[in-house]
Amino acid sequence: MGNVLSSAGRFEDALKLQLKAEKTRKENIPKDMDDVKWTAVINQNIGRCHALVGQFDKAEHRLQLAKEFEGSKNWGILAYTMFALANIERRKNNAAAKEASYSYFFALSLAP
């Protein structure tokens, strides 16, 4: 639902739902059932929402967490995470970091 709200431009509402989903999952799923893939996805979703509401420091933190969980083998989530990080670096006028993130994104996107 958070992704639907985000697509509709309701970024603050989307962020609230993404944070609620994370809290609900943490409260209701035994730790031994928590998986890396889900952790990457929720951090990427929350990071994206933070960026959309202009909270770039929080966004970068969440996106870095998502990137660390690249063991999920979900190249789509990792590629979008790198793309979102590159956009944040672009806003900060950090050309080298932006270029590195975009390059990583394109390498993942074009991989067979």
For residue 70, the domain's CATH number is 1.25.40
* Residue 101 in domain: no
For residue 37, being part of any structural domain is answered with yes
81: pLDDT strictly greater than 80: yes
Taking CA 54 as the corner, what is the angle to CA 26 and CA 59, rounded to the nearest 5 degrees?
40
pTM, whole model, 2 decimals? 0.77
Q: Is residue 95 part of a domain?
A: no
65 assigned to some structural domain: yes
- In which domain, by residue range, is 49 found? 2-80
Q: Is the pLDDT of residue 23 over 70?
A: yes
Number of domains in the chain: 1
Instruction: Report the distance separating Cα 14 and Cα 86, nearest Å.
Output: 22
CB distance 17 to 5 below 8 Å: yes
Of the pLDDT bands very low, low, confident and very high (cuts 50, 70, 90), residue 20 is very high
* 62 domain residue, yes or no: yes
Residue written as token pair 């390059």: 103
Cβ atoms of 69 and 36 within 8 Å: the answer is: yes
Flag whether 23 is in a domain: yes
How many angstroms separate the CA atoms of 13 and 49, rounded?
Answer: 9
